[in-house]
Amino acid sequence: MIGVLAPLPVLLPLLGAAAALLVGRHAKLQRALSILVLAAIVAVSVALLLIADANGAAAVAVGDWPVPVAIMLVVDRLSALMLIVASTVGLGVLVFAVGQGAADGDENTPLSIFHPTFLVLIAGVSYAFLAGDLFNLYVGFEVLLTSSYVLLTMGGSAPRIRAGITYVVVSLLSSLLFLASIGLVYAATGTVNLAQLAGRLGDLPDGTQLLLHSLLLIAFSIKAAVFPLSAWLPDSYPTAPAPVTAVFAGLLTKVGVYAIIRTQTLLFPDGALDDVLMWAALATMLIGILGAVAQSDIRRLLSFTLVSHIGYMVFGIALGSAAGLAGAIFYVVHHIAIQTTLFLVAGLIERRGGTMAVDRLGGLATASPLLAVLFFVPAMNLAGIPPFSGFIGKVGLLGAGVADGGWGAYVLVGGAVVTSLLTLVAMSRVWTRAFWRPPAQAPAADSAAAAARDAGPDDGPDEAPPGTDEPDDAVDEHAGGATSTLAARRTGRRGAWARHVAVATEAPEGGEGRPSGGAEDRAPSLQPLPGVMTAATAVMVALTVGLTVIAGPLYGMTDRAAGDLLDRTPYIEAVYGEEAGR
């Protein structure tokens, strides 16, 4: 049974991508096909988790090769759990994207590349979770990264191209480092199979082990956005369309976290770099959340919280205990769902309010109570407010830190508490300003304050006369052949004031311009929310609440997964049986 099911999370999306390309001229058929494929992957992933939980880890050798050189797909509790979460949020994001495409009217597009590329991305993620050797883990990363390059730059706008260049360069550097690490591992041990490496790496000199361990950890930390290797993420994700940003935030960094968990427990169980990981976890939490508090753009704020909460997962990994690993795995599952949902809600906020700038939003709670609920629930969940799953995951990690008893663990516990409080501050600021501030107050007050700052008490917000490009005094001074310092300052102030007015009265993309005569006219116009996009987001919010409902069984699953990881025997025997370690 496992031999039939294990390859399907990789094969189904690849075959679905090919079929989606063939029917690219029929948008409705392409959408239905993509949704059907992802729904099938969810069903297969559930079956794999039930089998792995009942019977333990299992492995499948793809192709007619002996086990030492075969392409191994290994299913254990961790990989099966990650498959379920990845395919489920992928399905939710795809339905959201279908609703966005229908709302924006892309039925006449001659060839859509979004759906095939999205399915290839899911195939790469699934392959990385199932790969039983380092090289095929690298292949999984490259498949998902190649498709992400296309998704990130889709539309070809200048901001997306700039962000895409940063993302591509960083991804290529991390992949190059990962590939070099694989070469060194093979040179030192004669294999790249994870189960076989578990027996051979321990025979190497300590210095060689530390070098290989460090190279792999750096490569995976770049992909997981662990500080100080996380600066690329906040500049790369916010420019993409809402569905792309959501799936990137939910899944891509977690594949890097998964790789860290797998290598730390299976290949390097001695914990030589655990202290380094502890400090990296603390810095990731604090630097990330401080960046989030400083943001006024919702997507950038969420991108910084994404970086920050990666630190919680690294916290659990660094502890190296069963409780720490169980808490880290639970938090990975929680964070994939929460972060994806929040980015989908951000897409709805932008569509409803016409902007992502918190300072220009207001009155959304009155205009759209449903949108307010859709934001509030995952925002409080991310902040760790009881009884949500975020609170349960953080309590589990804090308990593991206290049980560790070391001073470094206590420092991490303190950092985790501070990070949680600052997350609440960041989310509350968006909640109070964007949803509860009167809609006319925010832009009017902001633009008036800008005018007062830039015009000065003696200058006032007077604009250039109609039909001219400059104020009268500036024109006169130019005619005299010299511009005084005072006139130059006045001209600069007036130009800055005019830019602020233009920002405050700017129409949302695709909308019509608005007059700037009154405060109520300066607020971004509110647009209706498409039903499919709203429904998909609501289902995702319900899913995040569902994690709280099933937190007991889910935590039990992560406990058993952590036990398997620390034991290592179930994974090794699934691949090699009695020949393990040879």
Q: For 82-117, write each residue's pLDDT tens digit.
A: 999 999 999 999 999 888 776 555 544 445 788 999
Residue at 203: amino acid letter: D
What are the structure tokens assigned to 372, written together? 């307010």
Look at residues 571, 287, 294, 233 and name the one whose alpha carbon lies nearest to residue 429: 294
pLDDT of 134 higher than 70: yes
Tokens read off for 26: 């029929």
Alpha helices, DSSP H only, in 106-157? 114-130, 134-152
Measured CA distances, 582 to 56, 84, 190, 200, 215 (Å): 22, 33, 11, 8, 24
- pTM listed for this prediction: 0.83
pLDDT tens column, 504-518: 434 434 343 333 334
Give the rounded percent of residues in the chain with a pLDDT score beyond 70: 81
183-213 pLDDT per residue, tens: 999 999 999 999 999 889 988 998 999 999 9
Judged against a pLDDT cut of 70, whether residue 298 lies above it is answered with yes
DSSP tag of 193? B
Tell the residue number behind the tokens 């939710």, with chain if given.
92
pLDDT reported for residue 157: 67
Contact 129, 123 (CB under 8 A): no
Q: Would you place residue 527 in the very low, low, confident or very high pLDDT band (cuts 50, 70, 90)?
A: low
12 CB-near residues (< 8 Å, 6+ apart): 37, 40, 41, 44
Given pLDDT bands bounded at 50, 70 and 90, which one contains residue 410?
A: very high
Expressed in percent and rounded to 5, the helix, strand and coil fractions of the chain are: 75, 5, 20
pLDDT tops 50 at residue 445: no
What backbone torsions phi and psi does residue 62 show, to the nearest 5 degrees?
-85, 125
- The one-character DSSP state at 581 is T
Tokens of 265: 């427990």
Q: Report the amino acid identity of residue 161.
A: I
Q: What angle do CA 246, 249, 251 make, to 5 degrees?
A: 100
Is the per-residue pLDDT at 462 higher than 60?
no
Q: What angle do CA 304, 306, 310 make, to 5 degrees?
A: 120
What is the reported pLDDT for 455? 40
pLDDT digits (tens, 9 = 90+) for 311-364: 999 999 999 899 999 999 999 999 999 999 999 999 999 888 888 888 888 888
